[in-house]
Amino acid sequence: MRESGAFLLGREIGGKREVLKYALYDDLEPGCLDSGYVSFSSAGYRELWKLLKETGLEVVADVHTHPAEAFFSGTDRTNPMMPTAGHLAFVIADYAQGTVRPNDVAFYRYLGNHEWREDKPGSSAKKLYVGLWS
């Protein structure tokens, strides 16, 4: 119905990132989606830091939805949710309605200095695994 998103929390093990929990943007900062896009402020980050401290987890990626295609907008490129080189960000088309599979996800790795490496939907499936591992 509108853009939304979440931080994916977990840990990195042997170079692989495992998601164990998610934190929805509007749970961390109620009202941050009211404009129709994600407008996340320092108030939301304060709640995120608190959650990370409580759980002992780290942000391993973020994900947000778009109304139509899965791609990084200019705003996405210049406003990383976590401005740390190596951060991963995923975009899901059609507001993530229906069944979302790994090959539906646009996959971005932050390189720093507002530059990203992109894997378009389809090729991203080689890098995403959904299921249990141990």
Residue sitting closest to Zn ion (CB): 76
75 vs 113, beta carbon nearer Zn ion? 75
Longest dimension (CA), the chain: 40
60 vs 92, beta carbon nearer Zn ion? 92
Task: Match 């740390």 to its residue by tokens.
Answer: 84
Shortest distance in whole angstroms from residue 54 CB to Zn ion: 28
Can you give the binding site for Zn ion, defined by CB under 5 A?
Answer: 73, 76
Shortest distance in whole angstroms from residue 88 CB to Zn ion: 14
Shortest distance in whole angstroms from residue 128 CB to Zn ion: 18
Rounded CA gap, 39 and 119, in Å? 25
Backbone angles phi, psi at 56, to 5 degrees: 75, 10
Local structure of 70: helix, strand or coil? coil
Look at the alpha carbons of 115, 117, 119, 120 in this order and tell me if their dihedral is positive or negative: positive
31 vs 36, beta carbon nearer Zn ion? 36
20 vs 24, beta carbon nearer Zn ion? 24
Shortest distance in whole angstroms from residue 115 CB to Zn ion: 16
Rounded CA gap, 38 and 57, in Å? 23
